[in-house]
Structure 1
Amino acid sequence: MPHSMTAFARTEQTDTFGTLQVELRSVNQRYLEPHFRLPETLRDLEPDFREALRGRLARGKVECHLRFTPADADARLSVNRTRLETLANALGDVRDSVPQAAMPDALALLNHPGVLDIPGPDMDLVKAEARTLFRTALDDLEAGRAREGDKLAALIDARLDGILEQIVEVRRLLPDILARQRDQLLERLESARTELDPQRLEAEMVLVAQKADVAEELDRLDTHVAEVRRQLASQGPVGRRLDFLMQELNREANTLSSKSVVADTSRCAVELKVLIEQMREQIQNIE
Protein backbone atom coordinates (compact mmCIF):
# COMPACT_ATOMS: atom_id res chain seq x y z
CA MET A 1 0.00 0.00 0.00
CA PRO A 2 1.21 3.55 -0.66
CA HIS A 3 2.63 5.78 2.06
CA SER A 4 1.81 9.42 2.43
CA MET A 5 4.63 11.95 2.76
CA THR A 6 2.75 13.84 5.49
CA ALA A 7 3.10 12.71 9.10
CA PHE A 8 4.25 13.78 12.55
CA ALA A 9 5.87 11.88 15.42
CA ARG A 10 7.20 12.86 18.84
CA THR A 11 8.90 10.67 21.44
CA GLU A 12 10.37 11.59 24.80
CA GLN A 13 12.42 9.85 27.49
CA THR A 14 13.45 11.00 30.96
CA ASP A 15 16.32 9.26 32.75
CA THR A 16 19.00 10.01 35.32
CA PHE A 17 20.96 11.97 32.72
CA GLY A 18 18.02 14.25 31.90
CA THR A 19 15.29 14.43 29.25
CA LEU A 20 15.54 13.65 25.55
CA GLN A 21 12.84 14.53 23.02
CA VAL A 22 12.76 13.71 19.31
CA GLU A 23 10.27 15.39 17.00
CA LEU A 24 9.87 14.41 13.33
CA ARG A 25 7.66 16.23 10.86
CA SER A 26 7.40 15.33 7.16
CA VAL A 27 5.61 16.94 4.21
CA ASN A 28 5.55 16.25 0.49
CA GLN A 29 8.70 16.88 -1.52
CA ARG A 30 9.98 15.56 -4.82
CA TYR A 31 13.05 14.00 -3.18
CA LEU A 32 14.11 13.09 0.35
CA GLU A 33 15.16 16.35 1.99
CA PRO A 34 16.05 16.06 5.71
CA HIS A 35 16.68 19.07 7.95
CA PHE A 36 18.20 18.67 11.43
CA ARG A 37 18.10 20.81 14.57
CA LEU A 38 20.36 19.21 17.18
CA PRO A 39 22.09 20.47 20.34
CA GLU A 40 25.79 21.17 19.81
CA THR A 41 26.68 18.44 22.30
CA LEU A 42 24.81 15.92 20.11
CA ARG A 43 25.65 17.35 16.69
CA ASP A 44 27.75 14.32 15.76
CA LEU A 45 24.57 12.20 15.73
CA GLU A 46 23.38 13.83 12.50
CA PRO A 47 25.13 11.36 10.13
CA ASP A 48 23.52 8.43 11.97
CA PHE A 49 20.10 10.06 11.82
CA ARG A 50 20.51 10.95 8.16
CA GLU A 51 21.47 7.37 7.29
CA ALA A 52 18.48 6.02 9.22
CA LEU A 53 16.13 8.28 7.26
CA ARG A 54 17.61 7.20 3.94
CA GLY A 55 17.11 3.58 4.87
CA ARG A 56 13.41 4.04 5.66
CA LEU A 57 12.06 6.90 3.55
CA ALA A 58 12.33 7.62 -0.17
CA ARG A 59 10.71 11.04 -0.51
CA GLY A 60 9.56 13.97 1.56
CA LYS A 61 10.89 17.01 3.40
CA VAL A 62 11.62 15.78 6.93
CA GLU A 63 12.33 18.14 9.82
CA CYS A 64 14.17 16.44 12.70
CA HIS A 65 14.37 18.23 16.04
CA LEU A 66 16.31 16.71 18.96
CA ARG A 67 16.08 18.40 22.37
CA PHE A 68 18.22 17.51 25.38
CA THR A 69 17.71 18.89 28.88
CA PRO A 70 20.37 17.64 31.32
CA ALA A 71 19.27 16.61 34.80
CA ASP A 72 19.58 19.31 37.50
CA ALA A 73 23.11 18.96 38.84
CA ASP A 74 22.78 21.45 41.73
CA ALA A 75 22.02 18.75 44.27
CA ARG A 76 25.16 16.87 43.30
CA LEU A 77 27.67 19.72 43.65
CA SER A 78 30.78 18.77 45.57
CA VAL A 79 34.02 20.51 46.55
CA ASN A 80 37.32 19.12 45.35
CA ARG A 81 39.13 19.33 48.69
CA THR A 82 42.51 18.51 47.24
CA ARG A 83 42.16 21.31 44.71
CA LEU A 84 40.85 23.68 47.38
CA GLU A 85 43.77 22.93 49.75
CA THR A 86 46.24 23.48 46.92
CA LEU A 87 44.59 26.82 46.18
CA ALA A 88 44.59 27.78 49.88
CA ASN A 89 48.30 27.01 50.20
CA ALA A 90 48.99 29.13 47.13
CA LEU A 91 46.95 31.98 48.60
CA GLY A 92 48.90 31.66 51.87
CA ASP A 93 52.16 32.07 49.95
CA VAL A 94 50.72 35.16 48.26
CA ARG A 95 49.64 36.61 51.62
CA ASP A 96 53.10 36.03 53.08
CA SER A 97 54.79 37.67 50.12
CA VAL A 98 52.26 40.48 49.50
CA PRO A 99 50.45 41.21 52.79
CA GLN A 100 48.48 44.08 51.28
CA ALA A 101 46.93 41.86 48.54
CA ALA A 102 43.16 41.31 48.88
CA MET A 103 42.14 37.71 49.45
CA PRO A 104 39.19 36.13 47.53
CA ASP A 105 35.96 35.33 49.34
CA ALA A 106 34.39 31.86 49.54
CA LEU A 107 32.29 32.31 46.38
CA ALA A 108 35.35 33.36 44.41
CA LEU A 109 37.14 30.26 45.64
CA LEU A 110 34.25 28.07 44.45
CA ASN A 111 34.35 29.73 41.06
CA HIS A 112 38.01 28.90 40.61
CA PRO A 113 38.44 26.17 37.99
CA GLY A 114 38.56 22.70 39.48
CA VAL A 115 37.43 23.62 43.01
CA LEU A 116 33.74 22.83 42.44
CA ASP A 117 32.97 19.50 40.84
CA ILE A 118 29.89 19.66 38.62
CA PRO A 119 29.43 16.14 37.29
CA GLY A 120 27.97 16.10 33.80
CA PRO A 121 25.94 13.32 32.20
CA ASP A 122 27.59 10.38 30.51
CA MET A 123 27.37 11.65 26.92
CA ASP A 124 28.03 8.21 25.44
CA LEU A 125 24.93 6.97 27.27
CA VAL A 126 22.95 10.04 26.17
CA LYS A 127 23.90 9.47 22.53
CA ALA A 128 23.02 5.80 22.67
CA GLU A 129 19.60 6.63 24.13
CA ALA A 130 19.11 9.39 21.54
CA ARG A 131 19.73 6.91 18.73
CA THR A 132 17.19 4.50 20.21
CA LEU A 133 14.65 7.29 20.69
CA PHE A 134 15.16 8.46 17.11
CA ARG A 135 14.46 4.96 15.77
CA THR A 136 11.28 4.83 17.83
CA ALA A 137 10.18 8.21 16.46
CA LEU A 138 11.00 7.05 12.95
CA ASP A 139 8.87 3.94 13.47
CA ASP A 140 5.97 6.16 14.55
CA LEU A 141 6.49 8.51 11.61
CA GLU A 142 6.51 5.65 9.13
CA ALA A 143 3.37 4.16 10.70
CA GLY A 144 1.66 7.55 10.42
CA ARG A 145 2.65 7.85 6.77
CA ALA A 146 1.25 4.35 6.18
CA ARG A 147 -2.09 5.20 7.83
CA GLU A 148 -2.37 8.38 5.82
CA GLY A 149 -1.43 6.44 2.69
CA ASP A 150 -4.30 4.01 3.29
CA LYS A 151 -6.72 6.93 3.39
CA LEU A 152 -5.31 8.39 0.19
CA ALA A 153 -5.54 4.99 -1.52
CA ALA A 154 -9.22 4.73 -0.55
CA LEU A 155 -9.93 8.19 -1.99
CA ILE A 156 -8.13 7.33 -5.22
CA ASP A 157 -9.90 3.98 -5.49
CA ALA A 158 -13.28 5.72 -5.23
CA ARG A 159 -12.30 8.01 -8.14
CA LEU A 160 -11.20 5.00 -10.17
CA ASP A 161 -14.67 3.54 -9.68
CA GLY A 162 -16.06 6.81 -11.01
CA ILE A 163 -13.83 6.59 -14.10
CA LEU A 164 -15.00 3.04 -14.80
CA GLU A 165 -18.61 4.21 -14.53
CA GLN A 166 -17.95 6.87 -17.15
CA ILE A 167 -16.28 4.30 -19.43
CA VAL A 168 -19.32 2.02 -19.15
CA GLU A 169 -21.59 4.96 -19.92
CA VAL A 170 -19.66 5.97 -23.06
CA ARG A 171 -19.62 2.36 -24.30
CA ARG A 172 -23.37 2.17 -23.75
CA LEU A 173 -23.85 5.35 -25.76
CA LEU A 174 -21.64 4.40 -28.73
CA PRO A 175 -24.35 2.74 -30.92
CA ASP A 176 -26.72 5.66 -30.36
CA ILE A 177 -23.94 8.15 -31.05
CA LEU A 178 -23.13 6.57 -34.40
CA ALA A 179 -26.81 6.36 -35.34
CA ARG A 180 -27.41 9.99 -34.42
CA GLN A 181 -24.36 11.03 -36.41
CA ARG A 182 -25.71 9.22 -39.44
CA ASP A 183 -29.09 10.91 -39.08
CA GLN A 184 -27.46 14.32 -38.70
CA LEU A 185 -25.35 13.77 -41.80
CA LEU A 186 -28.41 12.77 -43.80
CA GLU A 187 -30.29 15.82 -42.55
CA ARG A 188 -27.47 18.14 -43.63
CA LEU A 189 -27.31 16.56 -47.05
CA GLU A 190 -31.07 16.77 -47.42
CA SER A 191 -31.21 20.40 -46.32
CA ALA A 192 -28.52 21.22 -48.86
CA ARG A 193 -30.56 19.32 -51.43
CA THR A 194 -27.48 17.41 -52.41
CA GLU A 195 -27.90 14.36 -54.59
CA LEU A 196 -27.40 11.37 -52.34
CA ASP A 197 -24.52 9.63 -54.09
CA PRO A 198 -24.31 6.22 -52.35
CA GLN A 199 -20.52 6.08 -52.58
CA ARG A 200 -20.13 9.62 -51.26
CA LEU A 201 -22.56 8.88 -48.46
CA GLU A 202 -20.68 5.74 -47.53
CA ALA A 203 -17.35 7.62 -47.45
CA GLU A 204 -18.81 10.34 -45.26
CA MET A 205 -20.23 7.74 -42.89
CA VAL A 206 -16.82 6.07 -42.62
CA LEU A 207 -15.21 9.37 -41.68
CA VAL A 208 -17.91 10.06 -39.10
CA ALA A 209 -17.54 6.58 -37.65
CA GLN A 210 -13.77 6.96 -37.40
CA LYS A 211 -14.09 10.28 -35.64
CA ALA A 212 -16.72 9.06 -33.24
CA ASP A 213 -15.03 5.71 -32.52
CA VAL A 214 -13.43 5.99 -29.09
CA ALA A 215 -13.13 2.27 -28.39
CA GLU A 216 -9.33 2.42 -28.28
CA GLU A 217 -9.37 5.32 -25.84
CA LEU A 218 -11.83 3.49 -23.62
CA ASP A 219 -9.68 0.34 -23.70
CA ARG A 220 -6.60 2.34 -22.72
CA LEU A 221 -8.51 4.02 -19.92
CA ASP A 222 -9.46 0.56 -18.62
CA THR A 223 -5.80 -0.50 -18.80
CA HIS A 224 -4.56 2.59 -16.95
CA VAL A 225 -7.17 2.16 -14.22
CA ALA A 226 -6.05 -1.44 -13.71
CA GLU A 227 -2.41 -0.34 -13.54
CA VAL A 228 -3.17 2.38 -10.97
CA ARG A 229 -4.82 -0.22 -8.78
CA ARG A 230 -1.88 -2.57 -9.23
CA GLN A 231 0.50 0.17 -8.12
CA LEU A 232 -1.68 0.98 -5.11
CA ALA A 233 -1.47 -2.66 -4.02
CA SER A 234 2.30 -2.91 -4.50
CA GLN A 235 5.07 -2.35 -1.95
CA GLY A 236 7.53 0.51 -1.99
CA PRO A 237 7.35 4.08 -3.28
CA VAL A 238 4.80 4.47 -6.08
CA GLY A 239 4.10 8.21 -6.16
CA ARG A 240 6.07 8.99 -9.31
CA ARG A 241 4.57 6.06 -11.21
CA LEU A 242 1.09 7.12 -10.20
CA ASP A 243 1.81 10.67 -11.30
CA PHE A 244 2.85 9.35 -14.74
CA LEU A 245 -0.33 7.28 -14.95
CA MET A 246 -2.39 10.40 -14.21
CA GLN A 247 -0.78 12.03 -17.24
CA GLU A 248 -1.72 9.03 -19.37
CA LEU A 249 -5.29 9.03 -18.09
CA ASN A 250 -5.58 12.73 -18.79
CA ARG A 251 -4.25 12.24 -22.32
CA GLU A 252 -6.97 9.69 -23.08
CA ALA A 253 -9.64 11.94 -21.56
CA ASN A 254 -8.46 14.80 -23.79
CA THR A 255 -8.59 12.56 -26.86
CA LEU A 256 -12.09 11.43 -25.89
CA SER A 257 -13.10 15.08 -25.57
CA SER A 258 -11.63 15.99 -28.95
CA LYS A 259 -13.51 13.10 -30.61
CA SER A 260 -16.75 14.00 -28.91
CA VAL A 261 -19.53 14.61 -31.44
CA VAL A 262 -22.47 14.76 -29.03
CA ALA A 263 -23.08 16.36 -25.65
CA ASP A 264 -23.20 13.01 -23.85
CA THR A 265 -19.59 12.10 -24.60
CA SER A 266 -18.48 15.68 -23.86
CA ARG A 267 -20.10 15.45 -20.46
CA CYS A 268 -18.38 12.13 -19.76
CA ALA A 269 -15.01 13.53 -20.86
CA VAL A 270 -15.40 16.49 -18.51
CA GLU A 271 -16.32 14.19 -15.63
CA LEU A 272 -13.24 12.06 -16.39
CA LYS A 273 -11.00 15.12 -16.22
CA VAL A 274 -12.49 16.15 -12.89
CA LEU A 275 -11.92 12.69 -11.41
CA ILE A 276 -8.35 12.53 -12.75
CA GLU A 277 -7.52 15.96 -11.35
CA GLN A 278 -8.89 14.94 -7.95
CA MET A 279 -6.65 11.87 -7.99
CA ARG A 280 -3.64 13.88 -9.14
CA GLU A 281 -4.02 16.23 -6.17
CA GLN A 282 -4.01 13.28 -3.76
CA ILE A 283 -1.09 11.57 -5.53
CA GLN A 284 1.11 14.64 -5.04
CA ASN A 285 1.31 13.60 -1.38
CA ILE A 286 2.13 9.90 -1.99
CA GLU A 287 5.71 8.73 -1.46
Structure 2
Amino acid sequence: MITSMTGFAARKGQGAGYSWGWEIRSVNGKGLDLRLRLPDWIDGLEPLVRAELARALNRGNVSLTLKVTSELGDTALRLNPTVLRSVLVAMAEVDHAARETGLTLAAPTAADLLTLRGVLDASAAAEDTAPLRALLLADLAPLLAEFTAMRNAEGAALAAVLGAQLDRVAALTGDAAREAEARRPAMAQTLRDNLARILGAAEGIDETRLAQELALLAVKSDVTEEIDRLTAHVAAARALLAEPGQVGRKFDFLVQEFMREANTLCSKAQSVALTRIGLDLKAVIDQMREQVQNVE
Protein backbone atom coordinates (compact mmCIF):
# COMPACT_ATOMS: atom_id res chain seq x y z
CA MET A 1 0.00 0.00 0.00
CA ILE A 2 1.31 3.45 -0.89
CA THR A 3 2.30 6.04 1.70
CA SER A 4 1.69 9.76 1.50
CA MET A 5 4.47 12.27 2.09
CA THR A 6 1.98 14.52 3.91
CA GLY A 7 1.66 14.00 7.64
CA PHE A 8 1.57 15.58 11.10
CA ALA A 9 2.01 14.42 14.70
CA ALA A 10 2.50 16.07 18.08
CA ARG A 11 3.37 14.65 21.46
CA LYS A 12 4.06 15.86 25.00
CA GLY A 13 6.12 14.25 27.73
CA GLN A 14 7.96 14.88 30.96
CA GLY A 15 10.74 13.41 33.07
CA ALA A 16 14.10 14.13 34.71
CA GLY A 17 12.77 17.50 35.89
CA TYR A 18 11.73 18.64 32.40
CA SER A 19 8.62 18.76 30.26
CA TRP A 20 8.72 18.80 26.48
CA GLY A 21 6.61 18.97 23.37
CA TRP A 22 7.32 17.45 19.94
CA GLU A 23 5.80 18.54 16.65
CA ILE A 24 6.56 16.94 13.29
CA ARG A 25 5.04 17.69 9.91
CA SER A 26 5.92 16.91 6.30
CA VAL A 27 4.97 17.78 2.74
CA ASN A 28 6.02 16.33 -0.58
CA GLY A 29 9.61 16.59 -1.82
CA LYS A 30 11.91 14.99 -4.35
CA GLY A 31 14.11 13.50 -1.63
CA LEU A 32 14.34 13.51 2.15
CA ASP A 33 14.91 17.03 3.50
CA LEU A 34 15.10 17.17 7.31
CA ARG A 35 14.73 20.51 9.08
CA LEU A 36 15.24 20.17 12.83
CA ARG A 37 14.76 22.72 15.60
CA LEU A 38 16.15 21.12 18.75
CA PRO A 39 17.65 22.52 21.99
CA ASP A 40 21.37 22.83 21.32
CA TRP A 41 22.26 22.39 25.00
CA ILE A 42 21.29 18.71 25.01
CA ASP A 43 24.54 17.04 24.04
CA GLY A 44 24.43 14.68 21.04
CA LEU A 45 20.66 14.90 20.54
CA GLU A 46 20.49 16.19 16.97
CA PRO A 47 22.58 13.51 15.20
CA LEU A 48 20.66 10.75 16.98
CA VAL A 49 17.28 12.27 16.09
CA ARG A 50 18.38 12.81 12.50
CA ALA A 51 19.46 9.17 12.23
CA GLU A 52 16.12 7.94 13.57
CA LEU A 53 14.20 10.05 11.06
CA ALA A 54 16.39 8.83 8.21
CA ARG A 55 15.63 5.23 9.18
CA ALA A 56 11.88 5.81 9.39
CA LEU A 57 11.37 8.04 6.33
CA ASN A 58 12.47 8.02 2.70
CA ARG A 59 11.03 11.11 1.01
CA GLY A 60 9.46 14.41 1.94
CA ASN A 61 10.26 17.83 3.36
CA VAL A 62 10.12 17.09 7.07
CA SER A 63 10.13 19.70 9.85
CA LEU A 64 10.56 18.61 13.47
CA THR A 65 10.47 20.93 16.48
CA LEU A 66 11.22 20.09 20.11
CA LYS A 67 10.65 22.51 22.98
CA VAL A 68 12.02 21.58 26.41
CA THR A 69 11.11 23.43 29.62
CA SER A 70 12.70 22.95 33.03
CA GLU A 71 10.36 22.12 35.91
CA LEU A 72 13.06 22.58 38.59
CA GLY A 73 12.29 25.38 40.99
CA ASP A 74 15.94 26.25 41.66
CA THR A 75 16.93 26.66 38.03
CA ALA A 76 18.99 29.81 37.63
CA LEU A 77 20.61 31.65 34.79
CA ARG A 78 24.29 30.82 34.42
CA LEU A 79 27.01 32.60 32.57
CA ASN A 80 28.62 30.69 29.74
CA PRO A 81 32.27 31.73 30.01
CA THR A 82 33.31 30.23 26.68
CA VAL A 83 30.69 32.16 24.71
CA LEU A 84 31.37 35.34 26.71
CA ARG A 85 35.10 35.12 25.99
CA SER A 86 34.42 34.68 22.25
CA VAL A 87 32.09 37.69 22.29
CA LEU A 88 34.65 39.90 24.03
CA VAL A 89 37.39 38.92 21.58
CA ALA A 90 35.12 39.64 18.63
CA MET A 91 34.11 43.01 20.11
CA ALA A 92 37.76 43.95 20.61
CA GLU A 93 38.50 43.16 16.96
CA VAL A 94 35.52 45.22 15.81
CA ASP A 95 36.55 48.16 18.00
CA HIS A 96 40.13 47.99 16.70
CA ALA A 97 38.97 47.92 13.07
CA ALA A 98 36.66 50.87 13.71
CA ARG A 99 39.46 52.97 15.27
CA GLU A 100 41.70 52.33 12.27
CA THR A 101 39.06 53.91 10.05
CA GLY A 102 38.59 56.87 12.39
CA LEU A 103 35.38 55.68 14.00
CA THR A 104 34.68 55.56 17.70
CA LEU A 105 32.11 53.04 18.83
CA ALA A 106 30.04 53.38 21.97
CA ALA A 107 31.13 50.91 24.60
CA PRO A 108 28.54 48.18 25.26
CA THR A 109 27.20 47.75 28.74
CA ALA A 110 27.11 44.51 30.68
CA ALA A 111 23.38 44.38 30.06
CA ASP A 112 24.05 44.55 26.31
CA LEU A 113 26.39 41.57 26.54
CA LEU A 114 23.94 39.51 28.55
CA THR A 115 21.30 39.85 25.83
CA LEU A 116 23.54 38.17 23.26
CA ARG A 117 22.59 34.61 22.44
CA GLY A 118 24.46 31.99 24.41
CA VAL A 119 26.06 34.30 26.96
CA LEU A 120 23.40 33.39 29.52
CA ASP A 121 22.31 29.76 29.57
CA ALA A 122 19.19 28.89 31.51
CA SER A 123 19.77 25.21 30.91
CA ALA A 124 23.34 24.97 32.16
CA ALA A 125 22.09 23.86 35.57
CA ALA A 126 21.69 20.35 34.18
CA GLU A 127 25.34 19.55 33.62
CA ASP A 128 24.69 15.97 32.51
CA THR A 129 22.01 15.91 29.81
CA ALA A 130 22.41 12.19 29.03
CA PRO A 131 19.36 11.10 31.14
CA LEU A 132 17.17 13.72 29.48
CA ARG A 133 18.50 12.76 26.03
CA ALA A 134 17.65 9.11 26.67
CA LEU A 135 14.09 10.03 27.70
CA LEU A 136 13.62 12.19 24.61
CA LEU A 137 14.89 9.49 22.26
CA ALA A 138 12.55 6.96 23.88
CA ASP A 139 9.67 9.40 23.39
CA LEU A 140 10.63 9.94 19.75
CA ALA A 141 9.65 6.37 18.81
CA PRO A 142 5.91 6.73 19.59
CA LEU A 143 5.93 10.15 17.94
CA LEU A 144 7.26 8.62 14.72
CA ALA A 145 4.74 5.78 15.03
CA GLU A 146 1.88 8.30 15.15
CA PHE A 147 3.42 10.25 12.29
CA THR A 148 3.83 7.13 10.15
CA ALA A 149 0.27 6.04 10.92
CA MET A 150 -1.05 9.35 9.63
CA ARG A 151 1.06 9.13 6.48
CA ASN A 152 -0.24 5.60 5.93
CA ALA A 153 -3.83 6.77 6.39
CA GLU A 154 -3.23 9.61 3.94
CA GLY A 155 -1.70 7.05 1.59
CA ALA A 156 -4.81 4.86 1.77
CA ALA A 157 -6.99 7.85 0.89
CA LEU A 158 -4.59 8.74 -1.90
CA ALA A 159 -4.75 5.18 -3.24
CA ALA A 160 -8.55 5.37 -3.36
CA VAL A 161 -8.40 8.60 -5.38
CA LEU A 162 -5.79 7.22 -7.77
CA GLY A 163 -7.74 3.98 -8.13
CA ALA A 164 -10.85 5.90 -9.18
CA GLN A 165 -8.80 7.93 -11.66
CA LEU A 166 -7.32 4.74 -13.11
CA ASP A 167 -10.85 3.37 -13.50
CA ARG A 168 -11.70 6.49 -15.48
CA VAL A 169 -8.58 6.14 -17.65
CA ALA A 170 -9.45 2.49 -18.32
CA ALA A 171 -13.02 3.43 -19.28
CA LEU A 172 -11.85 6.18 -21.62
CA THR A 173 -9.31 3.83 -23.16
CA GLY A 174 -12.12 1.38 -23.85
CA ASP A 175 -14.15 4.20 -25.42
CA ALA A 176 -11.17 5.09 -27.60
CA ALA A 177 -10.80 1.47 -28.75
CA ARG A 178 -14.48 1.27 -29.70
CA GLU A 179 -14.39 4.62 -31.49
CA ALA A 180 -11.24 3.61 -33.39
CA GLU A 181 -12.93 0.41 -34.52
CA ALA A 182 -16.11 2.26 -35.49
CA ARG A 183 -14.20 4.75 -37.65
CA ARG A 184 -12.24 2.02 -39.45
CA PRO A 185 -14.63 1.65 -42.44
CA ALA A 186 -14.77 5.42 -42.91
CA MET A 187 -10.98 5.68 -42.74
CA ALA A 188 -10.61 2.87 -45.27
CA GLN A 189 -13.08 4.54 -47.62
CA THR A 190 -11.27 7.86 -47.30
CA LEU A 191 -8.01 6.13 -48.13
CA ARG A 192 -9.54 4.50 -51.21
CA ASP A 193 -11.00 7.80 -52.38
CA ASN A 194 -7.65 9.54 -52.01
CA LEU A 195 -5.95 6.72 -53.88
CA ALA A 196 -8.44 6.96 -56.72
CA ARG A 197 -7.89 10.70 -57.03
CA ILE A 198 -4.11 10.25 -57.07
CA LEU A 199 -4.24 7.49 -59.70
CA GLY A 200 -6.65 9.47 -61.83
CA ALA A 201 -4.55 12.63 -61.77
CA ALA A 202 -1.11 11.14 -62.26
CA GLU A 203 0.47 9.12 -65.02
CA GLY A 204 3.48 6.91 -64.67
CA ILE A 205 3.43 7.09 -60.88
CA ASP A 206 5.89 4.88 -59.02
CA GLU A 207 3.70 2.15 -57.55
CA THR A 208 6.32 1.19 -54.92
CA ARG A 209 6.57 4.77 -53.69
CA LEU A 210 2.78 5.03 -53.69
CA ALA A 211 2.46 1.89 -51.59
CA GLN A 212 4.98 3.26 -49.09
CA GLU A 213 3.13 6.55 -48.76
CA LEU A 214 -0.19 4.78 -48.27
CA ALA A 215 1.33 2.53 -45.63
CA LEU A 216 2.71 5.58 -43.85
CA LEU A 217 -0.71 7.25 -43.89
CA ALA A 218 -2.28 4.12 -42.45
CA VAL A 219 0.28 3.98 -39.63
CA LYS A 220 -0.23 7.65 -38.80
CA SER A 221 -3.98 7.12 -38.39
CA ASP A 222 -3.77 3.82 -36.48
CA VAL A 223 -4.13 4.24 -32.70
CA THR A 224 -4.00 0.55 -31.81
CA GLU A 225 -0.54 0.80 -30.24
CA GLU A 226 -1.49 3.81 -28.13
CA ILE A 227 -4.59 2.04 -26.83
CA ASP A 228 -2.58 -1.10 -26.06
CA ARG A 229 0.03 0.93 -24.18
CA LEU A 230 -2.60 2.81 -22.19
CA THR A 231 -4.16 -0.50 -21.19
CA ALA A 232 -0.75 -1.82 -20.12
CA HIS A 233 -0.02 1.36 -18.16
CA VAL A 234 -3.30 1.02 -16.26
CA ALA A 235 -2.34 -2.52 -15.24
CA ALA A 236 1.14 -1.37 -14.19
CA ALA A 237 -0.31 1.50 -12.14
CA ARG A 238 -2.71 -0.83 -10.32
CA ALA A 239 0.23 -3.09 -9.49
CA LEU A 240 2.14 -0.11 -8.06
CA LEU A 241 -0.81 0.79 -5.84
CA ALA A 242 -0.62 -2.68 -4.29
CA GLU A 243 3.17 -2.80 -4.10
CA PRO A 244 4.77 -2.26 -0.67
CA GLY A 245 7.56 0.28 -0.28
CA GLN A 246 8.27 3.57 -1.93
CA VAL A 247 6.77 3.75 -5.43
CA GLY A 248 6.36 7.50 -5.87
CA ARG A 249 9.17 7.93 -8.41
CA LYS A 250 7.99 4.93 -10.44
CA PHE A 251 4.43 6.23 -10.42
CA ASP A 252 5.58 9.69 -11.50
CA PHE A 253 7.43 8.20 -14.49
CA LEU A 254 4.41 6.07 -15.40
CA VAL A 255 2.11 9.10 -15.39
CA GLN A 256 4.47 10.77 -17.87
CA GLU A 257 4.08 7.72 -20.13
CA PHE A 258 0.29 7.95 -19.76
CA MET A 259 0.40 11.55 -20.98
CA ARG A 260 2.69 10.67 -23.87
CA GLU A 261 0.21 8.10 -25.21
CA ALA A 262 -2.76 10.44 -24.71
CA ASN A 263 -0.98 13.18 -26.67
CA THR A 264 -0.22 10.77 -29.51
CA LEU A 265 -3.81 9.55 -29.51
CA CYS A 266 -5.03 13.12 -29.97
CA SER A 267 -2.58 13.79 -32.77
CA LYS A 268 -3.77 10.67 -34.67
CA ALA A 269 -7.48 11.04 -33.88
CA GLN A 270 -8.77 12.45 -37.19
CA SER A 271 -12.27 12.45 -35.72
CA VAL A 272 -14.11 14.73 -33.32
CA ALA A 273 -15.24 11.88 -31.08
CA LEU A 274 -11.76 10.37 -30.70
CA THR A 275 -10.24 13.80 -30.11
CA ARG A 276 -12.74 14.45 -27.34
CA ILE A 277 -11.85 11.14 -25.70
CA GLY A 278 -8.16 12.00 -25.94
CA LEU A 279 -8.71 15.38 -24.29
CA ASP A 280 -10.71 13.75 -21.48
CA LEU A 281 -7.84 11.30 -20.99
CA LYS A 282 -5.33 14.14 -20.72
CA ALA A 283 -7.49 15.90 -18.13
CA VAL A 284 -7.73 12.80 -15.92
CA ILE A 285 -4.02 12.02 -16.30
CA ASP A 286 -3.14 15.57 -15.30
CA GLN A 287 -5.24 15.13 -12.15
CA MET A 288 -3.39 11.88 -11.47
CA ARG A 289 -0.06 13.65 -11.81
CA GLU A 290 -1.03 16.13 -9.08
CA GLN A 291 -1.96 13.29 -6.71
CA VAL A 292 1.16 11.26 -7.48
CA GLN A 293 3.37 14.16 -6.33
CA ASN A 294 2.37 13.24 -2.75
CA VAL A 295 3.23 9.52 -3.01
CA GLU A 296 6.37 8.56 -1.09
Normalising by the smaller structure, the TM-score range is 0.7 to 0.9
1:279 corresponds to which residue?
288
C-alpha displacement of 1:201: 10
CA distance in 1, matches of 2:272, 2:246: 40
Task: Give the superposition deviation at 1:209.
Answer: 3.7
Structure 1: give runs of 5+ residues left out of the alignment.
76-117
CA RMSD of aligned residues (A): 3.0
CA pair 261-43 structure 1, distance change in 2 beyond 3 A: farther
Return the TM-score normalized by structure 1: 0.76
CA contact (8 A) 1:3 1:148 kept: yes
Letter of the 1:211 counterpart: K
| Higher alpha-carbon Rg | 1
Structure-2 change in CA distance of 1:66 and 1:200 (3 Å): closer
Asked whether the equivalents of residues 164 and 222 of structure 1 are also in contact (C-alpha less than 8 Å), the reply is yes
Post-superposition offset of 1:205: 6.7
Q: 2:151 maps to which residue?
A: 145
CA distance in 2, matches of 1:202, 1:265: 27
CA distance in 1, matches of 2:166, 2:16: 55
2:86 maps to which residue? none
Could you tell me which runs of 5 or more consecutive residues in structure 2 were left unpaired when the two chains were aligned: 76-123
**Alpha carbons 2:8, 2:24 under 8 Å: kept:** yes
> 1:157, 1:229 within 8 Å by CA — same for their partners in 2?
yes
User: Match of 1:30, SS?
Assistant: coil
Aligned to 1:106: none
Question: Secondary structure in 1 aligned to 2:61?
Answer: strand
Match of 1:134? 140
Residue in structure 1 matched with residue 22 of structure 2 by the alignment: 22
Aligned to 1:103: none
Please tell me whether the aligned partners of residues 33 and 59 of structure 1 are also in contact (alpha carbons under 8 angstroms): yes
Per the alignment, residue 248 of structure 1 pairs with 257
Partners of 1:280 and 1:146 lie apart in 2 by: 19
| Pairwise CA distance, 1:136 | 1.3
Deviation at 1:123, TM superposition (A): 2.8
Query: 5 Å matches for 1:60-209?
Result: 60-74=60-74, 120=126, 123-185=129-191, 194=200, 208-209=217-218
Q: What SS does the corresponding residue of 1:14 show, helix, strand or coil? A: strand
Structure 1 pair 235/192, CA: closer, same or farther in 2 (3 Å)? closer
Distance 1:176 1:209, change over 3 A: farther
**Alignment CA distance shift 1:67-1:176 (3 Å):** same
Measured in 1, the distance between the counterparts of 2:9 and 2:19 equals 17
Distance in 2, matches of 1:131 and 1:200, equals 77
